[in-house]
Amino acid sequence: MGKQLTAEQVSQYQKAFALLDRDKDGNITVKDLSGVMRSFGQEYTLFELEEVIKQIGAGKKEGAIQFSEFARVMQSRDDEESDSDLNLREAFVIFDRDGNGYISASCLRQVMNSFGVQVTDSEVDEMLRRADHNGDGKIDYEDFCRLMRQK
């Protein structure tokens, strides 16, 4: 894997891997990757995702990425992507409960309730109105990032 990973990197990569490994089988498959990419508003064909997995996977398990391969790729991308961007992606996945690439009113309400915050319908509507820049009634990844980066 090149240079040694720090304990913090291993921890971050394990958390990210766990988010991507939606069926929790220890591998990121095309199915897992497809769901996550939709969460970020990205649509890819199965063929495209299979190619990505082949390039990363280096053949250890056909059609899947294992943690060691994932960590190698993440380490090489560390210089390109800031920690705050990774944290935003992780947070978006938490809010995008059904993995469809956007946060709806019901998803927002569920997450707020799971954090012990009771919100009214009008409060949820106001949150959506403030965050939804394209006016489609949903918060996509770009809307989410814009909202989270506001001061």
Domain edge (last residue) among 77, 101, 129: 77
Are 133 and 105 in the same domain? yes
| Domain edge (last residue) among 29, 61, 77 | 77
The CATH number that applies at residue 89 is: 1.10.238.10
Are 137 and 128 in contact by the 8 Å Cβ rule? The answer is yes
Which pTM value belongs to this model?
A: 0.45
Are both 107 and 135 inside the same structural domain?
yes
- Based on the fold, state whether residues 61 and 113 are members of the same structural domain: no
pLDDT at 57: 65
Looking from the CA of 28 toward its CB, the CA atoms found within 13 Å total 27
Question: 25 lies in which domain range?
Answer: 7-77
Q: pLDDT 10s digit of each residue in the chain, 151 long?
A: 457 888 888 888 888 888 888 888 998 888 888 877 776 667 778 888 888 787 776 555 567 888 888 888 777 766 555 566 777 888 888 888 788 888 888 888 888 887 788 889 998 888 888 888 888 888 998 888 887 777 5
Domain count, the chain: 2
